Amino acid sequence: MPKIVDHDERRLELVDATWRIIARLGIEGATMREIALEAGFANGALKPYFPTKDNLLEFAFGHVFNRTNQRIATVTEGKSGLPALRAFCLEVLPLDEERVNEARIVIPFWQKAVNDPQKAEIHRQSMDEWLAAIRQYLAQAREAGDVKADVDDATLASQLLNMLLGAQIGAALGPGPGPGAGARASTGLADQLEGFLALLAR
């Protein structure tokens, strides 16, 4: 019998290969040939899944966003207010190698989205979803008396989202791993988050 090919699994293999290549060689080095070699595919075998690198990058962004949302759903289950907001942010922040590599996928996508309305719309919808979740957690925290800042929740949500996205840029562009580098970066970002949350109670 012919081997049954799981096309969804193949696509995810290509996404994983893509961010490994981007992590090593950057977006310019992530050619379709390099990605195919990394994934163990023949070069022409990519075209049925992703005719161009742009198609692959768009799919990769969606996969990263969905995977992050799955982690968020797990860690925020049963939580509300500040505990839920803290858990949400800790899943978005690039606190380990996996999430730094995810940021290295996201940044090239943003670069393409500057001149591509379709990608810009995908990004806008994704960020609107995150902003809505952040505003919901802030409203819950304010009702519980944990947020007392004299700034409206929409502004606070935008500030926090900008901090999270800025952290992704900083991690992706930062120095490569070294002894203790990951732990130091993780501690710094976690401390910044705690500082922001502490200001909300004032």
- Cα(20)–Cα(104) distance, integer angstroms: 9
Number of domains in the chain: 1
User: Quick check: 76 and 84 in contact, CB under 8 A?
Assistant: yes
**Residue 139 covered by a domain:** yes
* Angular region, 151: left φ>0, alpha ψ -120 to 50, beta rest: beta
Over 50: is that where the pLDDT of 1 sits? no
**Residue 66 covered by a domain:** no
Over 80: is that where the pLDDT of 186 sits? no
**Residue 186 covered by a domain:** yes
Residue 94: other Cβ atoms inside 10 A:
25
Token code pair at residue 191: 């401390």
Of 107, 104, 105, 76, give the one whose Cα is nearest residue 90: 76
**Residue 24 covered by a domain:** no
- Cα(172)–Cα(130) distance, integer angstroms: 20
- pLDDT per residue over 99-108, tens digit each? 888 888 888 8
What pLDDT is attached to residue 183?
A: 44
Of 66, 61, 149, 180, give the one whose Cα is nearest residue 110: 61
Over 50: is that where the pLDDT of 2 sits? no
Mean per-residue pLDDT, 77-92: 97
**Residue 64 covered by a domain:** no
pTM: 0.83
**Residue 21 covered by a domain:** no
Residue 166: other Cβ atoms inside 10 A:
11
**Residue 12 covered by a domain:** no
Domain span at residue 177? 79-200
**Residue 148 covered by a domain:** yes
Helix axes 181-200 and 81-92, enclosed angle (nearest 10) = 150
- pLDDT per residue over 109-130, tens digit each? 888 899 999 999 999 999 999 9
CATH code of the domain in which 107 resides: 1.10.357.10
